């Protein structure tokens, strides 16, 4: 029954918008899994994002960072609000909610982001792609480098010859590439042993370094088949034939864009979990979607991406494979019976439920109820 009697500290950042609702249901499911597999989970509440701005004036405090470092893993909801109306976005960029996310990644050394795209059998009717494409099956993971590249490079805006000129520097070192490539190759070994490096090596010097490092590392993993794809072609292939992918490895900005595209081929971004990993087993787990402030507090949110993120946490950071499997199995069974509005289609034979009822349903299945 896994690691019976084990005890773990879980940092919990509810976040903004629908964050508190979806995290509540993920914790409900975690508690049920913990009871079933004789695991003790201690939750450490923390704040980050817009709610931290409201309370402390900044999106990420040193206290939150210190608390996170005492935990085995962190589970997070969504942060941010509507830039058109939220006062958070009247602040300078370094004080906006998303700056907290970038800050915690850097502070905790979260350099590898994994986003899992799986089209479940019962959701093939919700996939926006042609039926023949969906029937081929979709099951791949994107590993995105998370602490380098354009988002963390030197930035400046200056006046040159009387006009504004903005510069963002894209820089990567060999060691930065190698450490995430190790996780990508290791992931491929656990899956179908195929790795695709996505880059823009015909234009970018940084991409050519990525190819050099990955090509050298491929010799250490002879069982893994490696191919290379330009990012513009990869964006097309994710729509044309997503079944061809197993593990996709890419840099920060390309991964940011492609992972959001990939989320939609699974039927809803509300089904895509995410893991951000450091060296060792520590990780931060969150849904791939945003805070959806337009439906916050209305019990309309889909908690399944957060629940699946919690399952990833059990597997990658806590080593509780059986508990993770139980959650994933319960989610698959649940969507055959009940669905939130983002997953519901006419004639699918399921019951429309809200966020709370979906979480309760999954928890009951883990507990052995039907």
Catalytic residue among 3, 106, 200, 344: 200
List of domains in the chain? 1-113+268-370 (3.40.718.10), 128-265 (3.40.718.10)
- Kindly tell me if the per-residue pLDDT of 330 is higher than 80: yes
Residues 148-181: pLDDT tens digits?
999 889 999 999 999 999 999 999 999 999 999 9
Tally Cβ neighbours within 10 Å of residue 219. 8
pLDDT band at 139, cuts 50/70/90? very high
Q: Is 132 a catalytic residue?
A: no
Catalytic residue among 151, 193, 230, 329: 151
> pLDDT at position 370, please?
63
How far is Cα 123 from Cα 267, in angstroms, rounded to an integer?
6
Give the residue-averaged pLDDT of 99-124.
91
Q: Does residue 172 carry a catalytic annotation?
A: no
> Is 325 designated active site?
no
Is pLDDT of 138 > 90?
Answer: yes
Average pLDDT over residues 259-284: 89
For residue 252, pLDDT beyond 60? yes
Element (H, E) at 9: strand 7-13
Predicted local distance difference test score (pLDDT) of residue 4:
47
The residue annotated as part of the active site, out of 38, 155, 212, 232, is 232
Measure the CA–CA gap between 123 and 355, rounded to whole angstroms: 18
| The one catalytic residue among 82, 260, 299, 325 | 260
Rounded to two decimals, what is the model's pTM? 0.87
Residue 3 has pLDDT above 60, yes or no: no
Question: Backbone dihedral region of 48: left (phi > 0), alpha (psi from -120 to 50 degrees) or beta?
Answer: beta
Residue of 256, 316, 342, 361 marked active site: 256
For residue 1, what pLDDT is reported? Answer: 33
Check if 219 is active-site.
no
Rounded average pLDDT over 259-287: 89
Respond yes or no: is residue 186 known to be catalytic: no
30 CB contacts (<8 Å, ≥6 apart)?
Answer: 10, 41, 75, 310, 314
pLDDT of residue 5: 63
């Amino acid at each position: 029954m896994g690691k019976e009697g084990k005890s773990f500290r879980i940092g919990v950042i509810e976040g903004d918008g629908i964050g508190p609702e979806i995290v509540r249901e993920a914790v409900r499911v975690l508690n049920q899994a913990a009871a079933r597999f004789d695991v003790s989970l201690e939750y450490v509440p923390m704040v980050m994002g817009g709610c931290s701005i409201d309370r402390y004036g900044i999106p990420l405090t040193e206290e939150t960072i210190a608390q996170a470092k005492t935990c085995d893993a962190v589970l997070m909801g969504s942060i941010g609000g509507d830039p058109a109306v939220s006062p958070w976005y009247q602040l300078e960029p370094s004080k906006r909610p998303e700056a907290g996310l970038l800050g915690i990644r850097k502070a905790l050394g979260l350099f590898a982001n994994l986003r899992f795209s799986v089209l479940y059998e019962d959701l093939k009717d919700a996939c926006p792609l042609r039926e023949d494409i969906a029937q081929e099956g979709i099951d791949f993971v994107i590993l995105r480098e998370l602490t380098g590249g354009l988002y963390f490079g030197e930035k400046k805006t200056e006046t040159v010859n009387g006009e504004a000129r903005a510069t963002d520097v894209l820089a990567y070192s060999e060691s930065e590439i190698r450490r995430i490539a190790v996780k990508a190759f290791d992931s491929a070994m656990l899956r179908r042993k195929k790795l695709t490096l996505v880059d823009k090596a015909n234009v970018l010097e940084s991409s050519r370094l990525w190819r050099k490092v990955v090509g050298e590392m491929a010799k250490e993993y002879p069982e893994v088949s490696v191919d290379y794809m330009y990012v513009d072609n990869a964006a097309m292939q994710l729509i044309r034939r997503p079944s061809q992918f197993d593990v996709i490895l890419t840099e920060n900005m390309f991964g940011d864009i492609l992972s959001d595209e990939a989320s939609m081929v699974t039927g809803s971004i509300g089904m895509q979990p995410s893991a951000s990993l450091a060296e060792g087993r520590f990780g931060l787990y969150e849904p791939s979607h945003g805070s959806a402030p337009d439906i916050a507090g209305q019990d309309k949110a889909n908690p399944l991406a957060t629940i699946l993120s919690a399952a990833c946490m059990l597997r990658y950071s806590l080593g509780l494979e059986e508990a993770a499997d139980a959650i994933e199995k319960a989610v698959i069974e649940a969507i055959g019976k009940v669905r939130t509005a983002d997953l519901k289609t006419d004639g699918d034979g399921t019951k429309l439920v809200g966020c709370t009822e979906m979480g309760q349903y999954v928890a009951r299945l883990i507990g052995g109820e039907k």
